[in-house]
Structure 1
Amino acid sequence: MGIKLMDIVGRFSYNCDIMFRVIDIKEENGKKTAILYGEEFRLVADAPYEDLIRMDLDSRRRLEEKGRSREEQSYFLFRQDVELLKQRREYEVTDGYSNELNYFQMPGRVLHIDGDANYLKKCMALYERVGVPVFGVHCSEKEMPVKISGLLDFYRPDILVITGHDAYSKSKGTIEDLNAYRHSRHFVQTVREARRKTPHLDQLVIFAGACQSHFESLIQAGANFASSPARVNIHALDPVYIVSKISFTPFMDRINVWDVLKNTLTGEKGLGGIETKGVLRNGMPYNKKKEEP
């Protein structure tokens, strides 16, 4: 039986190093080409139909287990960072623990716009796990520039994530040419539209990009953080770790870029950014509801 839409496949010429979903199959002049979306990496790729191999369950499980191990390690390190931030806030708010803990927190609210519904679902689960208030919207990359203004008006977030799929193609131009990228220009246009509404970099923190995206153009357009400086693939969950750290960092603190990148799955080759303020705010007093007798 031949490979069909939504099958999980690998590319024989790449030793099946990445799992893909088959999104479309096109035929021209008797040759079939498949459009592939990465299962763990935010990569879109074209591949000759004959280069594809359907991944068996054992192969899929091995890659999935390897991926889960890396995800859990990043999550553990992220939770350590958040706990240290919490302890420091408690020390400051209680004047060195000399007063009673009686404060509440308002983490930064995230609007996550994703070109892939499956990735969005995974990201939403991680946001919930780490406790970040988030709104998720599935939107194709090409429609993002048109819809971003209305979405910002409706959700009024502190942090904006613009992501989905991307890829650089040598056959379409040099690495500096924005037109050589699958969706980088759509991400750039979306960032520009967002900055027209909120120009200040600390009033709306923006992460933008996907695998191999044109990092420099995204930063110049107004993103605080973006992918991909070395044009490498980024993990589907990397944007979550970046913006969650920002969400839990007090607004009076500036975030060192390396502190944000160090616990991501991809690191500085795939992600970069500029110095940015946190967005968490503390308040008091915190009035606990009394239990009914």
Structure 2
Amino acid sequence: MEIKVGDIVARKSYKLDLLFKVIEVKDPQVVFLYGEDVRLVADAPYDDLVVIDDHEQQKRQLLDKEKVDTSYRLFRQDYQLIRQKNEYHATGGYTNDQDFFQIPGRVLHIDGDPNYLKKCLALYEKIGVPVYGVYCHEKEMPEKIDELLDKYRPDILVITGHDAYSKSKGKITELKAYRHSRHFAQTVRQARRRIPHLDQLVIFAGACQSHFESLIRAGANFASSPSRVNIHALDPVYIVAKISFTPFDERINVWDVLRNTLTGEKGLGGIETKGVLRTGMPYQKHNEDE
């Protein structure tokens, strides 16, 4: 079967483990691929690829949806506990009829893939996180970050897209061996020049197989990928949602952030960070007729 741009394929050499979309067919030896559910960019020989039919795609999409739904359910349980705790503190431990309001942290999500960005924005909306989404090629992120920070003034910054480690380009410890890790690190570094304090701007950076250590050194609070594994497209959302809904006077234990993600500690890591949510009262209800 002929393989063309837009086809959904898998690699025989990797036992058809991941689904990819064909982005470019350069020649028989180089077909460029973007992961469907993981933030991975890859290339493969034409004859290593198998086109995945609609039935198999639907089967895999269903399995992925089950994983996403499980993470979402666990996050909602966490959120309900946080809200009950916040209500207790807001009312001083007393039961009263006075409603309080919450201001969760605002997120600026910069993504190198418009399709992943769309999926993430849908999940942010479902969870209730205020977010601005911007599509930007990874190479352009360092140049555009200042303008975007000035425009949106976020509490939390997400810098993500595609990445991959290539053994042929260098050792696993060398930044030059990664497709976009250096661009992510440059973007984080530039953001930290503007806002140095780790709790004034919380940063998540990285994608599949990204150079975790360089992103943390550059100033990210959370990053991928400590074990250089693939991360799920939606993992950044669960991390920043936890931060967005945690009160500003509470520290977030790193494991508490990672445990409800789809990838876990092999693909994601970070440093102890404060939440950004603020609670106030009273909450004023106004009739639309007024």
Would the TM-score normalized by the shorter structure come out above 0.5? Answer: yes
Counterpart of 1:282 in structure 2: which amino acid? T
Match of 2:129 in 1: 132
1:158 is aligned to 2:140: no
Q: Percent identity?
A: 70
Q: Shift in Å at residue 91 of structure 1?
A: 1.0
Provide the secondary structure at the position in 2 that maps to 1:111. strand
Match of 1:268 in 2: 265
Gaps of 5+ in 1: none
CA distance in 2 between counterparts of 1:33 and 1:267 reads 32
- Residues 18-77 of structure 1, C-alpha deviation per residue, up to 9 Å, x if partnerless? 0001111212xxx43111000000001110011111101111111111100000000000
Match of 1:17 in 2: 17
Counterpart of 1:6 in structure 2: which amino acid? G
Higher mean alpha-carbon deviation, 128-137 vs 45-54, is at 45-54
- Residues 150-200 of structure 1, C-alpha deviation per residue, up to 9 Å, x if partnerless? 000000000000000000011111010000001000000000010010000
Q: Shift in Å at residue 291 of structure 1?
A: 5.4
RMSD (CA atoms): 1.0
Match of 1:116 in 2: 113
Provide the secondary structure at the position in 1 that maps to 2:31. strand
Provide the secondary structure at the position in 1 that maps to 2:32. strand
Match of 2:279 in 1: 282
Q: Give the TM-score normalised by the residue count of structure 1.
A: 0.97
| 1:153-232 equivalences in 2 (<5 Å) | 153-232=150-229
Q: Shift in Å at residue 102 of structure 1?
A: 2.3
Q: Give the TM-score normalised by the residue count of structure 2.
A: 0.98
**Would the aligned equivalents of 1:250 and 1:278 in 2 still touch at CA under 8 Å?**
yes
**Would the aligned equivalents of 1:226 and 1:272 in 2 still touch at CA under 8 Å?**
yes
Match of 2:38 in 1: 41
Provide the secondary structure at the position in 2 that maps to 1:64. helix
Gaps of 5+ in 2: none
CA distance in 2 between counterparts of 1:132 and 1:97 reads 28
CA distance in 2 between counterparts of 1:219 and 1:26 reads 35
Match of 1:92 in 2: 89
Q: How many equivalent pairs are there?
A: 290
CA distance in 2 between counterparts of 1:76 and 1:101 reads 29
**Would the aligned equivalents of 2:142 and 2:186 in 1 still touch at CA under 8 Å?**
yes
**Would the aligned equivalents of 1:94 and 1:100 in 2 still touch at CA under 8 Å?**
no
Match of 2:139 in 1: 142
Q: Shift in Å at residue 284 of structure 1?
A: 1.7
Provide the secondary structure at the position in 2 that maps to 1:160. strand
**Would the aligned equivalents of 1:90 and 1:97 in 2 still touch at CA under 8 Å?**
no
Counterpart of 1:207 in structure 2: which amino acid? F
CA distance in 2 between counterparts of 1:142 and 1:206 reads 18
- Residues 99-134 of structure 1, C-alpha deviation per residue, up to 9 Å, x if partnerless? 333211100000000000000000000000000000
Counterpart of 1:100 in structure 2: which amino acid? D
1:69 is aligned to 2:76: no
